[in-house]
Structure 1
Amino acid sequence: MEQASTILHVDTPGQGMHEVTDQVLDWVDRQGIDVGLLTLFLRHTSASLLIQENAAPAARRDLERYFARIAPESRDYEHDDEGPDDMPAHLRAALTAVQLSIPVADGRPVLGTWQGIFLFEHRRRPHRREIAVNLIGTSSTR
């Protein structure tokens, strides 16, 4: 059994879904692990990780509008230390996920045809986000 880990840094320009699939695929490819489990963990409370449609930008826009409706910016929240987008960002993160587990086969994450890995930034201003990545598995060459 082998294991590899790293931290991926993602600079977000602000709110929205930002695809990180290529970064993840590139890193997994360099590890030489053929079969295993990939774990991604976002080290933040106001952003999240999603596996979502990566072909149609309209799907991402619809998701972003949906979350804006169910957790709107408002001055009614008690927690607003960093502005009106502070608590809604935490609510949106609570409704999604900060951790993903993806099987790996033939040296690649087993994603469906239209699935991509996204960092969903819930804050309006740009942020530098960190994704802790861990891959555990076996290699046929070792």
Structure 2
Amino acid sequence: MRQAQTSITIATSGQGLYECTADVVAWVASTGIGQGLLTLFIRHTSASLLIQENAAPAARRDLERYFARIAPESGSYEHDDEGPDDMPAHLRSALTATSLSIPVADGCPVLGTWQGMYLFEHRDSPHRREMVLHLLGN
């Protein structure tokens, strides 16, 4: 059994889905681990991770609009230390995931035909988000 770990920094320009599939696939291939389990973890409380449709941009736009409706910035939240997008960002993050587990086979994450890995930025302003990747296998 072997393991490998790295961090990837993703620069965001505001709210939205940022596909990171290519970076993750390249790193997994570079480890030389053929079979195993990949864990992705985001080190933030106002951004999250998703596996989502990567072919139709409309699917991503619909997802972004849905989260804007269920956790609106216009809500009256007690926690607004960093502005009106602060608490909605935490709510959106709580409703999604801060970590993902993806099987690896033949040196590649096992994703469906239309699946991609995304960082979901929930804040309005640009950020540099750190995602930790850990692969355990042989």
So what's the TM-score if we normalise by structure 2?
A: 0.99
1:75 positional shift: 5.4
Query: Could you list the per-position Cα deviations for residues 23-54 of structure 1 after superposition, in whole angstroms to 9, with x for gaps in the alignment?
Result: 00010010000000000000000000000000
Distance 2:43 2:82 in 1: 18
Offset of 1:17 from its aligned partner? 0.3
Aligned length: 138
The equivalent of 2:92 in structure 1 is 92
Alignment of 1:70-85 (within 5 A): 70-74=70-74, 76-85=76-85
Match of residue 38 from structure 1: 38
* TM-score normalised by length of structure 1: 0.96
What is the CA-CA distance between 1:74 and the residue it aligns to? Answer: 2.3
Secondary structure in structure 2 of the residue aligned to 1:77: coil
Q: What root-mean-square deviation, in Å, do the aligned CA atoms of Structure 1 and Structure 2 show?
A: 0.6
> Which letter maps to 2:130?
E
Identity of matched residues, %: 73
Structure 2 unmatched runs, 5+ = none
Letter in 1 for 2:44: H
Separation of aligned partners in 2, 1:124 and 1:24 = 25
For residues 55 and 34 of structure 2, what CA distance do their matches in structure 1 show?
26
The one-letter amino acid paired with 2:19 is: E
User: Structure 1 segments of 4 or more deviating over 2 A?
Assistant: none
